[in-house]
Amino acid sequence: MNTLQTKAEQRLIADYYDDLARTFGQRISDEGKERIQKAFEFANSAHAGVKRKSGEPYIIHPLAVAHIVSSEIGLGATSIISAILHDVVEDTDYTLEDIENLFGEKVSKVVDGLTKLSDEITSTHDSKQATNFRKMLMTLSDDVRVILIKLADRLHNMRTLDSMQPNKQLKIAAETLYIFAPLAHRLGLYTIKTELEDLSLKYTHPETYSQILFRLHSQKERRDYLVEEFIAPIESQLKSENINFNISGRLKSVFSIWNKMQTKGVSFDEVYDLMAIRIVFNPKNNLSEKRQCFDILSIITDIYKPKPDRIRDWITIPKANGYEALHVTVMGPQGKWVEVQIRTQRMDEIAERGFAAHYKYKGDETPESELDRWLEKIREMLQNPESDALEFLDEFKMNLYSSEIIVFTPKGEMVNLPKGSTIIDFAYEIHTDLGNHCIGAKINHKLVPVSHVLQSGDQVEILTSKTQLPDISWLKFIITAKAKGKVKQAFKLDKKRHLEKGREIIEEKLKKHNIKPSSDTLKKLSSYYNLSNKDQLYAQVGMGFLELDELESILKTRRENKLAKFWTLSFGWNKKDKPEEKQFEFPKRKIDKKGTFILKENPEESNYSLAKCCQPIPGEEVLGYINSNNHVIIHKRNCPEANKLMSQQGDRIITAEWTKFKKRSYLSHIKLNGFDRVGILNEVTTIISKQNNINMRTVMFDTHDGIFEGDLYLYIHNVEDLKNLIARLMKIKGIDSVLRIESIEE
């Protein structure tokens, strides 16, 4: 009995352990259960007296993670023990040596992979988040279970995120969306991936999340009726064919609905495929699974007409994470498109629990899979000593989503590549020498350049020349981490030369503006281009990736009645005009990272500026990023750049809120389209001129074959005014859509 815990706490802990034990079943041997019990008693004693932010005893968290590992991923005793012990080394006085002595080398290695880095190990300019993640991935070389347990750990943290401070919630949610959800997807853990995405949205966009949830709930009865109407004839036909099956409706996740609304620019009501119907059947022994899946597809398309371009065969060629299924979209009752997924029970288990768990830890004799090849690519990336942690994280992110195109070698061998891959990506995928000497390719006997983007089904013959060498410009269009790594490796000997060349270019350009290349100035420039330090800045400029074309606009003095600037750099005037150098700086204001940063109408008084990448408007959901000059840059919460900053430099993220803005206006771009008719332009401009607080800068209309497109550039005070205007414009007869365009070229 632990004297540091109350009786109520002891009862709560016992209940959690009993819940965990109920998930074991026949999967865990008696010896395994004894080892798990021993690990629990050890961890409970080690964490005794420690509380989580929620006020619960700390041991509840490791037990909850172990529960996810056991019941939702289906891993064995070693993984469950590692999950129970995953915070012991980091948070208590016990060492990895103690863990190895008590529970063996395997558990010790997994726990080591799950233990975060100490501050001393992290280099000064690398993000601690990124470095921790790289270290965790290094254990992939030995044991993929580290990642699976880490995903379970993250899932429980997301489920209990309510007790964290708002800025921590933002950091953890964005990191989850940027790395952990795609990682779960890559490892085939679809259920976990979906929950991670939904929970991330709940904390990054709480209002939007609640609205979508409410709309889904309010339409439930109508949806249930449509599902019953749709599946009735299919059920009847499958039964008559003596097929042992289960059919169910699966609702699109909140995140995927929101994502479609964002990427397609549509409203909730326009997301047509909210529902998917899933048929899971028990295959007969005397026929192949693939044949039986296509038989069921034939039954469905006899009842409902299929959409020709929406049949997906993931059985002949499974996805990179092992996912197998047949998908078809058909025209259902009441003119609604419905997606139907056809799987065997085996395929369904792989889809729900993940291919990694299925074949690695159940003793299946599986030939080398796409997942194995992916893990091998990650190991190659990890062995490249040249990439820093932030660069590695970006490259790893590019490799997370499943391969989307399939191309063929001249001999007919199949190669999987990410969508958007070029001739160079393909060449390096085959062999390093082929990539290094590539001068072009032939696709279907037609000559194409090295930058040509491949399409699924292309048969590619690489053309080489002994005199050809890797070209630094290739980095502008190649997308696979392997190709990028090989090209960078070829240029690593020139790194010093690039740094020197970049330094000379920057100093020359600053000299033209009479500005000294002080560390403060270089910090501001690095921050402006989202680089970690001056060396990265020099290298990017030296290799020709940064032209510094915006230098003049970055260095201009403050302009009245314009959009707020990121910052104002120190200026030097010509000695004839001014006898001494004068400094323009934002007043330094102490920033409370835990509190909410209030955005006042005068940005210079408040020490903030608006990000150019997403152009936030007063009233929108925003957050702040504290740059190296202690200046706050305001981003929209759904800005991809903000998402990247939160996942890599989350400790610099703060929550932010607007005050009421009355004087300062912000430039916004609205795009209209619809059917042209006499007087429509006049109606649009009349509505704008009648709405208070909005001024027109530019109005451009173009008509073609009875369809018009319009671009409006308006000065507005806040997002409410913009929403009201959009609602009024949508009521004009003939207008089909009104969209706000977020990036503005001034």
Q: Which of 34, 41, 90, 592 is catalytic?
A: 90
Q: How far is 59 from 45, CA to CA, in rounded Å?
A: 9
Closest CA to 16 of 44, 42, 38, 54: 44
Neighbours of 723 (CB within 10 A): 12
Q: How far is 716 from 721, CA to CA, in rounded Å?
A: 7
Return the bridge partners of 571, or none: 582
Burial (CB < 10 A; 0-12, 13-18, 19+), residue 3, is: exposed
Q: Report which DSSP code applies to 92.
A: S
Report whether 86 contacts 65 (CB < 8 A).
Answer: yes
- The one-letter amino acid code at 25 reads G
Q: Which of 15, 41, 91, 547 is catalytic?
A: 91
Dihedral angle computed from the Cα positions of residues 93, 96, 102 and 108, in that order, rounded to the nearest 10 degrees: 140
Is residue 90 flagged as an active site residue?
A: yes
| CA of residue 420 relative to chain centroid, distance | 18
Is residue 592 flagged as an active site residue?
A: no
Report whether 571 contacts 515 (CB < 8 A).
Answer: yes
Going by C-beta distance under 8 Å and a sequence separation of 6 or more, which residues neighbour residue 379?
A: 140, 141
Q: How far is 22 from 67, CA to CA, in rounded Å?
A: 9
Q: Give one DSSP letter per residue of 241-304, joined into a string.
A: TT-EEEEEEEEPPHHHHHHHHHHHT--GGG----EEEEEEEE--TTS-HHHHHHHHHHHHHHHS
Cα-based distances in Å from 587 to 354, 583, 630, 634, 655: 53, 11, 10, 17, 20
At 523, is the secondary structure helix, strand, or coil? Answer: helix
Report whether 551 contacts 509 (CB < 8 A).
Answer: yes
Instruction: Please give the positions annotated as active site.
Output: 90-91
